[in-house]
Amino acid sequence: MSSIQQNQQYILFRVAGETYGVSVIDTHEVIRFKEPRRIPHAPKHILGVINLRGQIIPVVGLRERFSVESMAPNEETRVIVITFEGKLTGLVCDAVERVVTIPAENIEESAEYQRSKSVSSIRGVAHLDETDSVVFLLALETLQEEIALDSATP
């Protein structure tokens, strides 16, 4: 049975031409890109940390995390600051598109998306009624676990 019981609002954003979504409930804010300070010996997808009004938060490059070619930030590049289990994390995306309500019946969650290392950050897919487009929904717990593991590795 799906863990999503009702319609939810999602922020849709683009990474390398694909559309992804993260729940508005899990979103702290969306900010313009600011260059993170690199962390020595951090994995490539952990771009560094930024100071967000006195709070230091890790920043994940979604292009790097999804193994697609890196791109220099431009005017559309945004950092979606998500909150998961009380921890803030910045997710760098190519552009934020819009906020939509996705009916629960349009979302297909599947363990198959999480079995492969390359797609472990995806918890499911959704389709939007007005178009034939597919939206990949992020698994925030997986991203947060990766950051915790990566920061524990010397």
The pLDDT of residue 142 is 73
Q: For the chain (length 154 residues), average pLDDT per consecutive 10?
A: 65 94 94 95 91 95 91 96 90 96 86 54 81 83 66 47
Q: What is the CATH number of the domain that holds 116?
A: 2.40.50.180
The pLDDT of residue 153 is 44
Beta-ladder partners of 21: 12, 137
Q: What is the pTM of this model?
A: 0.84
Distance from the first to the final alpha carbon of the chain: 39
* Burial profile 132-148: b = 16 or more Cβ within 10 angstroms, e = fewer: eeebbbbbbebbbebbe
Q: Whole domain around residue 104: which residue ranges?
A: 8-152
Residue 3 lies in a domain: no
The pLDDT of residue 82 is 94
CA distance 89 to 81: 6
